[in-house]
């Protein structure tokens, strides 16, 4: 017995497999959709679509070729008079396979294979729809107002700056963008550690000021403690 080229054979022999697929094709053309396993649905698809291709030719030779597989003359008549005309404009893809889960019992993956009977949109209809969509997009773009510089963010930034300045404790100043000390403010404050550093102290040069104070008393009043103790921050003020 020859070995199948595409996985296990459905039946016990090649002729048995051909009979299985022919019977399933006949059921598909009769009911327009059948439920079977995923493996059988994938094997059935090329067989059924080949028969539909013969039916689309519509001549006597094609009818005789189809009747070699389909034994029910009523199904052959349905194929040539109803199914084939409905797919005359379709270039291919006559069937659709939809997986529906697993069968209870042997847990085999199941699928529904059905005929795609929906009409195919012609190229002219697609082109008209594309042109209409492009025209609508162009009109929307033309109707859109020109981009204006929003004034609200400027107001919000200024308001935020004023709020930040008002939130600073008395006797303090926010850091300058240049990194230099503001005029009259020489004491550095670190908000993470809540410590302050006076000029000339041990860690003053290596500390990045997150807030500046004019005097040590202002830093203490704001809740900052002397870094390293009071003695370490009495070098110079």
Domain containing 33 — which CATH number? 3.90.1030.10
Q: Is 176 found in the same domain as 101?
A: no
> Mean pLDDT over residues 50-66, rounded?
94
- 76 in a structural domain: yes
Q: Under DSSP, is residue 24 helix (H, G, I), strand (E, B) or coil?
A: helix
Residues 77 and 83: their CA atoms lie apart, in Å, by: 9
Does 131 score more than 70 pLDDT? Answer: yes
Domain boundary among 118, 133, 158: 118
Beta-ladder partners of 225: 195
Rounded Cα distance between 186 and 177, Å, is 16
213 to 181, 209, 225: CA distances (angstroms): 10, 10, 12
What is the token pair recorded at 56? 């689309």
Output the pLDDT for position 191. Answer: 76
Name the pTM for this structure. 0.51
Which stretch of 110-114, 121-125, 178-182 has the lowest confidence by average pLDDT? 121-125
d(C-alpha 109, C-alpha 101), whole Å: 6
- Is 136 part of a structural domain of the chain? no
pLDDT band of residue 237 (cuts 50, 70, 90) is very low
Final residue of a domain: which of 59, 93, 118?
118
135 domain-assigned: no
62's CB contacts (< 8 A; 6+ apart) are: 54, 55
Q: Are residues 114 and 176 in the same domain?
A: no
| Segments forming the whole domain that contains residue 41 | 14-118
When pLDDT is averaged across residues 213-228 and rounded to a whole number, the result is 81
Helix (H) or strand (E) holding 171, with range, is none
Whether 227 shows a pLDDT value over 80: the answer reads no
* pLDDT on residue 209: 79
109 and 193 share one domain:
no
Q: Can you tell me which residue has the tokens 């054979």?
A: 9
Judged against a pLDDT cut of 80, whether residue 3 lies above it is answered with no
Residue 153 forms part of a structural domain: no
> What's the pLDDT band for 160 if we cut at 50, 70, 90?
very low
pLDDT band, very low/low/confident/very high, at 214 (cuts 50, 70, 90): confident
106, 21: one domain: yes
Q: Is the pLDDT of residue 213 over 90?
A: no
Higher pLDDT, 224 or 42: 42
38-52, 71-85, 123-137: range with lowest mean pLDDT:
123-137
Measured in residues, the chain has a length of 237
**Residue 98 pLDDT:** 96
Please report whether residue 219 resides in a domain.
yes
- Same domain for 105 and 23, yes or no, is yes
Q: Do both 26 and 102 map to the same domain?
A: yes
How many other CB atoms sit within 10 Å of the CB of residue 26? 19
In this structure, the answer to whether residues 33 and 92 fall within a common structural domain is yes
Q: Is the pLDDT of residue 143 over 80?
A: no
Q: Does residue 150 have a pLDDT over 60?
A: no
Count structural domains, the chain.
Answer: 2
Question: Are 110 and 170 contained in the same domain?
Answer: no
Tokens of 70: 């389909």
Whether residue 109 sits in one domain with residue 27: yes
Residues 112 and 171 in one domain: no
Answer whether residue 194 is part of any domain: yes
18 and 100 fall within a common domain? yes
Cβ pair 233, 196 in contact under 8 A: yes
- DSSP letter string, 184-208: T--EEEETTTTEEE-TTSTTTTTPP
């Amino acid at each position: 017995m020859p070995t199948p080229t595409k996985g296990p054979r459905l039946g016990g022999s090649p002729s048995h497999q051909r009979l299985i697929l022919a019977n399933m094709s006949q059921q598909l053309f009769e009911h327009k959709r059948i439920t079977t396993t995923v493996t059988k649905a994938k094997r059935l698809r090329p067989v059924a679509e080949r028969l539909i291709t013969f039916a689309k030719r519509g001549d006597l030779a094609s009818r005789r070729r189809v009747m070699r597989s389909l034994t029910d003359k009523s199904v052959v008549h349905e194929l040539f008079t109803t199914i084939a005309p409905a797919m005359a404009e379709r270039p291919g893809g006559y069937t659709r396979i939809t997986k529906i889960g697993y069968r209870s019992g042997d847990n085999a993956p199941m699928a529904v294979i059905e005929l795609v009977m929906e009409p195919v949109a012609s190229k002219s209809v697609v082109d008209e729809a594309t042109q209409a969509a492009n025209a609508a997009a162009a009109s929307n773009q033309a109707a859109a107002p020109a981009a204006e510089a929003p004034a609200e963010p400027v107001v919000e930034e200024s308001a935020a700056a004023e709020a930040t300045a008002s939130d600073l404790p008395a006797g303090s100043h926010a850091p300058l963008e240049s990194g230099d000390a503001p005029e009259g403010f020489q004491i550095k404050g670190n908000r993470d550690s809540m410590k302050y550093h006076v000029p000339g102290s041990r860690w003053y040069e290596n500390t990045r000021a997150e807030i500046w104070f004019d005097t040590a008393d202002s830093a203490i009043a704001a809740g900052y403690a002397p870094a390293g103790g009071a003695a370490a921050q009495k070098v110079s003020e």
